[in-house]
Structure 1
Amino acid sequence: MWTLIRHPVFGRLFAAQVVALLGTGLLTVALGLLAFDLAGAAAGAVLGTAYAIKMVAYVGLSPVAGALVSNLPRKPVLIMADLVRAVVALSLPFITEVWQIYLAIFLLQTASATFTPAFQATIPDVLEDEDDYARALSLSRLAYDLENLISPALAGLLLLLISYHWLFGGTVIGFGFSALLIWGTVLPLRQPTTSRPFRARLTRGVRIYLATPRLRGLLALTLTAAAASAFVIVNTVVVVRSGFGGTDGDVAIALAAFGGGSMIAALALPALLKRLSDRPVMMTGAALLTALMALQAFVTATWPMFLLFWALTGLGYSATLTPQGRLLRRSAHAEDRQSVFTAQFALSHVCWLVTYPLAGNAMTAWGMAPTMGILAAVGAIGLLAATRLWPEGDPVVVTHSHDDLPDDHPHLAGGGHRHAHPLVIDDEHHAWPTHG
């Protein structure tokens, strides 16, 4: 897996992702402490609202941004988005009011709504081999885990020497280095695409996504993952500081436990996915998350038990979501890949749009146990929906009929109206066949 880092293009993109996420990890810790300073015990509600605003930007703006930049070269799009994020992050140390947090988060995540789908869609073009791409997804998951492991540990060390306000400077540096690394990378040229009107570009990815059974199942599993991760992200600072009477360093340790569990899963997944298909691995991860949330609704954890729960939650979270790139790649032609990645980015964040404010406001109103019970119910709904929406087997090659196409249509050449091939939703396949 680590040999991919020596790849001349992927290695630079991976490095750009790592430094940007290190900066984002410092932002997560600093933002939680800033919210606690401004709102005290109500910090969970503030962070819940802030992350809900983040989700609104992701859900509402990522399809629009994706359609606007779909025909532009990816390199300048990625660089400009990084630079905008750096400028916004530069303003964060000067925030003195809660509403300013909300405004900064909206601007920051608007740029991320442009950057992230374009970045994710670039990796399959760089690594065409399926095994290499699976390893790249695990490396990408590990990079995200650095946000939950190394960044909090680094933040804990820095907090011994400086005020948390200075941690925002690390975010600026991370985005700046990311832009610099991308600027020095030769990215593959876009595949030629069919010229489509803006409205078609805006909705194409969502249409492909919602018409594909495995992707509908992915969306349901994302709801389960969002229920578990929302509590971790929004309420860790409240549980540790108010519940356990811990320090800022203890908050970093708790977040590192979550990241450590996720990292263990990411390291194990490339080998595991050679023996098992994506569906059982992702279903098992979602079942673990649901069981952990239900258990914590009834068990009052000690500090060591709490850290174990957080580590297991990280493991289940990574097992549920890390393989998603394989499903997206399998479900679209190269020319539609960015549209489908953008659709996943927008639709999946609808889940966090629900769970972030739910986790924050329920924690403020009722405490940890009832909140975990509510989120466990949400997670169970996602898991049960996935079992119905994503049938077992999930073949790549599907036998189907084209009664709507004329006999001389190029797609029928050599196969006739009824044939079999790797199926994705496209101009010739508007719906997934349910019979035959």
Structure 2
Amino acid sequence: MLSVLQNRTYRHLFLAQIIALIGTGLATVALGLLAFDLAGPDAGAVLGTALAIKMIAYVGVAPLASAFSERVPRRAMLVALDLVRASVALLLPFVTEIWQVYVLIFILQSASAGFTPTFQATIPDVLVDETDYTRALSLSRLAYDLESVISPMLAAMLLTLIGFHDLFAGTVIGFLASAGLVLSVALPSPKPTAPRGIYDRTTRGIRIYLATPRLRGLLAINVAVATAGALVIVDTVVFVQSRFGLDQQSTALALTAFGGGSMIAALSLPGVLDRIQDRTVMLAGAGLLALGTLAAAALPSYGWLLPLWFVLGLAYSTAQTPSGRLLRRSSHPEDRPALFAAQFALSHACWLIAYPLAGWVGANLGLPLTAALLAVLAALAVATGLRVWPADDPDVIEHSHTDLPADHPHLVESHGRRRHAHAYVIDDAHAAWPQEP
């Protein structure tokens, strides 16, 4: 898996991702402490609002950012957004009012909504071999899982030496280091084939996404991932400390079990995907998420929760890690930023619904009913994925063009043949998916 790090450009980008993630993790801890410093007992409401602002920024800003990304070199855009994030982190220690936190969080997360999809869309252009790209996806998943463990531990150690305001300095350093690493390499920036209006550029990714059967299946999988993931992220503390009467360390251990399962899956996936189709792997992971979430409705003890959370972590990573492969298969290089932005926005829209659902139902109707409801939603999502994502999903599809003029460049490339076969993606010459004969 580590062989992909021999590619200098990818190695620098991967290091930029890790450093920025750790910086963001430190900011998350510091933000919680800042909220308590400003709001006291109401800190939970402040953090909940900040999380909602984050998701709204992700859903709303990502497509807009992708609309302008094609007009700016990718390296310049990524560096500029890192500098914006560093500037916001630099200001956070000096806020004195809660509304200032909300404004800065919106700016920070809006910059992230532009940065992350553009960064993700760059990797398949750097690693053109699918095997290498698959390994890069697994490394990225590992980086996210390790950050969730390392950042709180690092923050705890640093807090023995410095105040929580100083943790934001680590975030600033992380974003500046990320910008420096991105600046140190040349990045591909595919250009669009024709100028487009702002509406076309803003909605292009979502239109390609919803017109592609395998990506409609991915959207269903996003729903299953969000509903099951929300149970773990939102309700683990309620299971452990309220239902089972245990302490914070037990909560941390449960989340570690979930992260451990995710990391094991990420390590195993490259070999699995060499032998088994993406559709089979991802829908199996989503199905396991639905079953595991249903099992959580009848958890008898903490001793059963730990292995179940480990299994949910396995399923979580299995269902979502290969998504980049689908996005890569389903777009031309110049459309990838828009398509990755669509995935970013749509997947976070699922989380925006799942988070409050898991919290509200859990608080008002109890954990068993919450787990059962989320399991039903996940199962319906899996059933939808099975229906909309055909089992026979080839890259090369024979199709006809009856609506193109004879001198259209696409027909010229095909030697005038209106019926032909090639790797099929949605673009200007292919507005809809071909129907089976």
TM-score, normalised by the number of residues in structure 1: 0.91
| Aligned-partner SS, 1:431 | coil
Q: Which secondary structure does the structure 2 equivalent of 1:9 belong to?
A: helix
Matched with 1:434 is 435
Distance in 1 between the 2:244 and 2:401 partners?
63
Report the equivalent of 2:354: 355
In structure 2, the partner of 1:338 is: 337
Task: Tell me what 1:376 maps to.
Answer: 375
Q: Distance in 1 between matches of 2:83 and 2:371?
A: 38
Give the stretch that moved more between structures: 178-187 or 24-33: 24-33
* SS of alignment partner, residue 421 of structure 1: strand
| Per-residue Cα deviation, 1:280-333 (whole angstroms, up to 9, x for no partner) | 11011111111111111122431x433333322221111111101110010011
Alignment of structure 1 residues 134-283 onto 2, 5 Å = 134-158=134-158, 166-191=166-191, 193-240=193-240, 242=242, 249-283=249-283
Distance 1:29 1:238 in 2: 20
* Deviation for aligned residue 1:276: 0.3
Aligned counterpart, 1:52: 52
Counterpart Cα distance in 2 of 1:375 and 1:88: 36
Q: Secondary structure at the match of 2:369?
A: helix
What's the % identity of the aligned pairs? Answer: 57
Residue 364 (structure 2) aligns with: 365
Q: Which amino acid aligns with 1:330?
A: R
Deviation per CA, 1:55-81: give whole Å up to 9, x if none.
211111111111122210111211121
The one-letter code matched in structure 2 to 1:359 is A
Shift of 1:399: 1.5
Q: 1:301 to 1:177 in 2, by over 3 A?
A: farther
For residues 42 and 204 of structure 1, the distance between their equivalents in structure 2, rounded to whole angstroms, comes to 39
Distance in 2 (alpha carbons) for counterparts of 1:359 and 1:107: 27
Cα 1:104–1:261 change in 2 (3 A) is farther
Query: 1:164 offset after TM fit, Å?
Result: 5.3
Alpha carbons 1:149, 1:257 under 8 Å: kept: no
| TM-score of the two chains, using structure 2 as the length reference | 0.90
Equivalent position amino acid for 1:419 in 2: H
Question: Offset at 1:146?
Answer: 1.7
Task: State the SS of the aligned residue for 1:400.
Answer: strand
- In the alignment, the residues of structure 2 paired with residue 274 and residue 362 of structure 1 have an alpha-carbon distance, to the nearest angstrom, of 40
Q: Unaligned regions of 5+ residues in structure 2, if any?
A: none
8 Å Cα contact 1:52/1:353 also seen in 2: yes
Measured in 2, the distance between the counterparts of 1:369 and 1:170 equals: 40
- Range with bigger deviation, 123-132 or 186-195: 186-195
SS at match of 1:66: helix
- Given the superposition, is the C-alpha separation of residues 184 and 275 from structure 1 closer, same or farther in structure 2, using an over 3 Å criterion? same
Give the match's secondary structure for 2:145: helix
Q: Distance in 2 between matches of 1:98 and 1:188?
A: 41
Aligned partner of 2:424 in structure 1 is 423
2:113 is aligned to: 113
CA distance 1:223–1:40, shift in 2 (3 Å): farther
> Aligned partners of 1:19 and 1:250: how far apart in 2?
28
My pick for the range that moved more, 366-375 or 423-432, is: 366-375
* Mapping for residues 257-336 of structure 1, pairs under 5 Å: 257-302=257-302, 304-336=303-335
Between 419-428 and 77-86, report the one with greater CA deviation: 77-86
Please give the alpha-carbon distance, in whole angstroms, between the structure 2 residues aligned to 1:159 and 1:369. Answer: 37
Question: In the TM superposition, what is the alpha-carbon distance from 1:104 to its structure 2 partner?
Answer: 3.7
Query: How many Å separate the matches in 1 of 2:261 and 2:41?
Result: 29
Aligned equivalent of 1:78: 78
CA deviation profile, 1:361-395 (whole Å, cap 9, x unmatched): 33333343332222222212211111111111211
CA contact (8 A) 1:47 1:234 kept: no
Contact 1:126 / 1:188 at 8 angstroms: preserved in 2? yes
Separation in 1, partners of 2:254, 2:228: 15
Contact 2:70 2:191 in 1 (8 A): no
- Note the alpha carbon deviations across 1:241-294, whole angstroms, 9 max, x for none: 555565555554433322221111111011000000100110111111111111
User: Take 2:309 and 2:29, find their aligned partners in 1: how far apart are those partners?
Assistant: 16
CA distance in 2, matches of 1:92, 1:356: 25
> What SS does structure 2 have at the residue aligned with 1:193?
coil
Measured against aligned partners, the alpha-carbon deviations of 1:381-434 in whole angstroms (never above 9, x if no partner) come to 211111111111211111211111234433233362222211101111110012
> Residue type matched to 2:2 in 1?
W
What secondary structure sits across from 1:195 in the alignment? coil
Aligned to 1:385: 384
**Structure 1 unaligned regions, length at least 5:** none
- 2:246 & 2:359 partners in 1: Cα distance? 19
Residue 228 of structure 1, CA deviation: 1.9
- 1:343 counterpart SS class: helix
